Structure 1
Amino acid sequence: MVNIVWKRLTTGDVTRTEQEGDEYLSSILTSKNWIIEGVHHKWVYPCFQIADLILFLVTNLSTRRFRIIKRFLKQKIGIERANYKPTLKILKDLYNYNTMFEYHSKPEIIDILSPYKNKLTILKSNTVITDLYK
């Protein structure tokens, strides 16, 4: 798996410039097969037009809040790896980002995806994802 937004270095993560990210994404999109995943939704917009299938996972707000706290605790005790130092500030930022996603970003993304309804599937849980492949 490659990361378009971040350069993962032993000294820490560094954000790619917008130009670097665009060039990297363009090289991926010229491949025969690709899967793009990300919460950095603005950079994935060019992918929607050429994608064969778009899956948008939208679990409910309380489920995501629970998972953020659970992941933080797992990272703090060392049973889950993190690409950052899990701090209370990061926990608070993720919690706030999640709330902003619910009330601002999610409606915006749904609107942006409306021209692609013929290839869009909105999934409300990871159970549904599993069921797609049975």
Structure 2
Amino acid sequence: MKKNISNKIHIIGSVGSGKTTLARGLSTKLNIPYYELDNVVWIRHKNGDIRRSEEERDKYLNTVINNETWIIEGVHNDAWVSNSIENAELIIFLDIDYSVRTYRIVKRFFLQKLGLEKSHYKPTFTIFLKMFKWNKHFEQVGKPNFYNKYGIHSNKILVINKKSELDSFLKDLDYNRI
């Protein structure tokens, strides 16, 4: 039997968990636009990014949320993101192992420095080091904070811990689209 496919999906996870890759893939598969929360926070420019004011950021995010379909991905789970999480029909929490995320951070940095992977930011050594800090912070603070704030939405949270679980979810998604 065919299941309803979610039209409003929020993906959360740490740096290196696969949020953007999953959002991009689901966007193509479901024909739903995806948005990166980092691009909600920052206005991207060749000469350097400019942080949106809180008012601009919130207005932009609410404009996205008011659409009929969207996929929003990001590490953020602060109060300004709560409308996205609450309005999502499906919340995918990529709770990938810390060591796997660490490996992906290293791999991404080298691929970006070699020009084999694009990024919205300049891949500096400073940013590289910050990613380790952000990864650790998410593990110690962000993850518990997510469950404390948004655990009430457990009926629509899908926790994915490893690639095999993600593959199974995507296979089910393909099956339910037939």
Same topology, TM > 0.5: yes
Cα displacement (A) at 1:58: 0.8
Residue 39 in 1 paired to residue 70 in 2?
A: no
Equivalent residue number for residue 8 of structure 2 = none
Amino acid at match of 1:92: L
Looking at structure 2, the residues matched to 10 and 87 of structure 1 have their Cα atoms a distance apart, in angstroms, of 15
- More relative contact order, 1 or 2 (CA 8 Å, 6+ apart): 2
Rate the CA distance shift 1:50–1:85 in 2: closer, same or farther, 3 A: closer
For residue 148 of structure 2, give the secondary structure of its aligned residue in structure 1. helix
Looking at structure 2, the residues matched to 63 and 127 of structure 1 have their Cα atoms a distance apart, in angstroms, of 14
- Larger mean CA deviation between 84-93 and 52-61 belongs to 84-93
Cα displacement (A) at 1:105: 1.2
Residue 48 in 1 paired to residue 88 in 2?
A: no
Amino acid at match of 2:54: E
For residue 67 of structure 2, give the secondary structure of its aligned residue in structure 1. coil
Following TM superposition, the consecutive aligned residue runs of length 4 or more in structure 1 with deviations greater than 3 angstroms are: none
- The count of corresponding residues between Structure 1 and Structure 2 is 134
Question: For 1:46-68, what per-residue CA distance to the aligned partner results, in whole angstroms no more than 9, with x for missing partners?
Answer: 22222111111010110011000
- Larger mean CA deviation between 92-101 and 40-49 belongs to 40-49
- The alignment's C-alpha RMSD in Å is 1.5
- The correspondence of residues 1-134 of structure 1 with structure 2, limited to 5 A, is 1-2=34-35, 3-42=39-78, 43-134=80-171
- Percent sequence identity over aligned pairs: 37
Cα displacement (A) at 1:38: 0.8
- Larger mean CA deviation between 91-100 and 38-47 belongs to 38-47
Q: Which runs of 5+ in 1 are unaligned?
A: none
